[in-house]
């Protein structure tokens, strides 16, 4: 995989086998086909698991508790959340949680941080890939890792919206 930016080679080396061009293309296709809603999924040591964003269903059922819709956020289905919890210590663990940000850029938002942490520590020992998706395709994606108490940008991957 080619990167537009990396924090350092050590932080990326272990992900080179996981972030193959083919898998990133599949993630980008999911992000574009989900547009204008956010997509979400899990990148495993080997392979990906596209997940279901149930935020529109939650918003429709209870807009006071869930004021945002799927164009503004994501919530894993219970099946996907259970898979993540059970899989984290398996032979093929989840390494990256990914989701898209339609029309707003790839950044690790305060909401993303709130959902990834419990008492200031990551709930799962994974990195987070945020995809900048527009109507024309994916602009780029950014990979974040929890380092010294906060999520830091460790890599920028090129998009596909020039096709």
Using DSSP, state whether 147 is helix, strand or coil.
strand
pLDDT at 35 over 50: yes
Peptide bond just before 48 cis, omega within 30 deg: no
Q: Domain 5-49+84-158 falls in which CATH fold?
A: Cytidine Deaminase; domain 2 (3.40.140)
Best CA proximity match to 55, nearest among 73, 40, 41, 39 = 73
Residue ranges of domains in the chain: 5-49+84-158
Rounded average pLDDT over 21-49: 96
Q: Is 142's pLDDT higher than 50?
A: yes
Asked whether 53 and 40 are in contact (CB, 8 A), the reply is yes
Contacts (Cβ under 8 Å, ≥6 apart) of 153: 5, 7, 108, 142, 143, 144
Q: What is the pLDDT of residues 39-58, one digit of tens each?
A: 999 999 999 999 999 999 99
Average pLDDT of the segment spanning 17-33: 93
Structure tokens, 37: 């809603």
Q: What is the mean pLDDT of the chain?
A: 93
User: What is the pTM (predicted TM-score) of this model?
Assistant: 0.94
Average pLDDT rounded to a whole number, residues 125-151: 96
Burial (Cβ within 10 Å: 0-12, 13-18, ≥19) of residue 162: exposed
Backbone φ and ψ of 31, nearest 5°: -60, -45
């Amino acid at each position: 995989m080619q990167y537009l930016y990396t924090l350092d080679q050590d932080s990326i080396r272990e992900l080179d086998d996981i972030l193959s061009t083919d898998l990133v293309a599949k993630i980008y296709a999911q992000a574009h086909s989900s547009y204008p809603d956010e997509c979400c999924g899990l990148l495993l040591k080997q392979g990906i698991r596209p997940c279901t964003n149930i935020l529109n269903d939650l918003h429709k059922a209870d807009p006071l508790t869930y004021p945002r819709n799927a164009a503004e956020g994501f919530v894993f289905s219970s099946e996907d959340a259970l898979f993540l919890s059970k899989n984290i210590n398996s032979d093929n663990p989840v390494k990256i949680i990914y989701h898209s940000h339609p029309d707003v850029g790839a950044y690790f938002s305060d909401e993303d941080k709130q959902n990834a942490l419990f008492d200031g520590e990551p709930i799962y020992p994974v990195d987070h890939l945020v995809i900048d998706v527009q109507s024309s395709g994916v602009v780029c994606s950014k990979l974040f890792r929890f380092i010294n108490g906060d999520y830091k940008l460790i890599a920028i991957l090129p998009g596909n919206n020039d096709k």
